[in-house]
């Protein structure tokens, strides 16, 4: 099954021990060392010249100097803009009782909330909810991009959790999305960035999450109301998208707030989140510094 030399192959990249690594089945390859310094040790150096990086990564023999797999960290710690999309799966809109939006509902997750695939999520209250999401990573500066051209501006995908504190979110007369989704630890990301070439159909990926052993959400990204190319197109019509920027594309049905009875995260639980073909987050839930065990 030889690949044409000009064909772009999938690249899987992450951060381990603070350094950018190429990832294969059983090894990490330190990017700075393997490239003799052509690329640096941080993801910024990869995003500075994404096309060159992908070309280089496809030509590297990953067996040349394998290093043991270290614990993977947040693969995109350099994100400057983090967009979130609310109400973007039909079944989630249904469970929430909201009307179907005619344009994407956009908020931000402030980047200080981003953490790695195995980091703890500290609870600020007893009303913290899960939202598994496919996360788009921008690879090139994008401004006024058409839907049909959008994939060229995408570096790849990773898995994310749009952790949400529901009291702050719905406390006032208007929803408070950005703040309620930006507490420390509220943006677990990883375990790696995978280029879109990896997927047979990049518009139809299976995703889900489980609390301990109980599956809470299961869906496919083909159920997105506004799909990935349209989100890039619509966002880039307003904001200049920068390499390393993230788009949390929305969550399917099965969050805790719309269950009967309602369910929320509790200290001691483990939240597992996945997108098939990318990998899995496993985040322990812990009590945050202001957490009150019995509020009611």
Query: Residue 38 is encoded by which pair of tokens?
Result: 């052509």
Q: How near is the Cβ of 103 to Zn ion at its closest, in Å?
A: 16
Cβ of residue 133: shortest distance to Zn ion, in angstroms? 6
Give the CA count within 13 Å in the CB-facing half-sphere of 167: 9
What is the C-alpha to C-alpha distance for residues 99 and 163, in angstroms, rounded to an integer? 22
Q: Which is nearer to Zn ion, 57 or 275 (CB)?
A: 275
- Least distance from Zn ion to the Cβ atom of residue 96, Å: 11
Single out the residue of 89, 83, 100, 92 nearest to residue 233, CA to CA: 83
- Cβ–Cβ under 8 Å, residues 79 and 23: no
Residues 6+ apart with CB under 8 A from 190: 14, 72, 73, 74, 75, 116, 117, 158, 159, 279, 281
Residue entry with tokens 């003799």: 36
Q: Give the residue with the Cβ less far from Zn ion, 47 or 183.
A: 183
**73 vs 131, beta carbon nearer Zn ion:** 131
- The site for Zn ion (CB under 5 A) is made up of 131, 162, 251
Q: How far is the CB of 260 from Zn ion (least distance, A)?
A: 21
**CA angle (239, 242, 248) in 5-degree steps:** 75
Residue, CB closest to Zn ion: 162
Q: Which helix (H) or strand (E) holds 168?
A: helix 166-169
Q: Specify the residue, 86 or 191, whose C-beta has the smaller distance to Zn ion.
A: 86
Q: What are phi and psi of 138, to 5 degrees?
A: -75, 140
- The CB-of-73 to Zn ion minimum distance in angstroms stands at 22
Residue ranges with strand state E in 112-262: 114-115, 121-123, 128-129, 132-138, 154-161, 164-165, 187-194, 206-211, 214-220, 246-248
Cβ 98 to Zn ion shortest distance, Å: 13
Closer residue to Zn ion (CB): 195 or 251? 251
Q: How many residues does the chain have?
A: 296
Pairing of strands 105-108, 82-86: antiparallel
CB of 177 to Zn ion, least distance (A): 8
- Our CB check for Zn ion shows the closer of 35 and 161 to be 161
Name the residue nearer to Zn ion (CB basis): 249 or 272: 249
Nearer residue to Zn ion within complex by CB, 11 or 271: 271
- Minimum Å distance from CB 109 to Zn ion? 9
């Amino acid at each position: 099954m030889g690949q044409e030399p000009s064909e772009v192959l999938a690249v899987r990249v992450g951060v381990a021990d603070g350094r950018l690594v190429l990832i294969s089945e059983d090894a990490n390859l330190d990017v700075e060392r393997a490239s003799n310094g052509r690329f640096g040790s941080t993801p910024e150096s990869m995003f500075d010249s994404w096309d060159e990086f992908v070309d280089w990564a496809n030509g590297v023999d990953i067996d040349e100097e394998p290093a043991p797999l270290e614990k993977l960290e947040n693969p995109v710690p350099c994100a400057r803009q983090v967009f979130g999309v609310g109400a973007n799966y039909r079944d989630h809109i249904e469970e929430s009782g909201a009307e179907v939006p005619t344009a994407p509902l956009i908020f931000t997750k402030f980047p200080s909330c981003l953490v790695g695939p195995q980091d703890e999520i500290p609870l600020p209250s007893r009303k913290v909810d899960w939202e598994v999401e496919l996360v788009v990573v921008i690879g090139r500066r994008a401004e006024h991009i058409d839907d049909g051209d959008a994939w060229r501006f995408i570096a790849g995908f990773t898995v994310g959790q749009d952790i949400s504190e529901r009291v702050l979110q719905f406390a006032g007369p208007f929803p408070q999305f950005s703040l309620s989704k930006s507490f420390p630890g509220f943006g677990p990301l990883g375990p790696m960035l995978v280029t879109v070439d990896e997927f047979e159909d990049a518009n139809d990926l299976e995703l889900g999450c489980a609390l301990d052993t109980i599956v809470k959400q299961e869906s496919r990204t083909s159920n997105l109301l506004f799909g990935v190319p349209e989100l890039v197109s619509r966002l880039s019509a307003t904001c200049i998208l920068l390499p390393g920027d993230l788009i949390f594309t929305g969550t399917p049905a099965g969050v805790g707030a719309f269950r009967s009875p309602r369910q929320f995260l509790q200290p001691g639980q483990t939240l597992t989140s996945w997108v098939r073909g990318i990998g899995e987050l496993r985040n322990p839930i812990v009590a945050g510094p202001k957490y009150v065990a019995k509020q009611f």
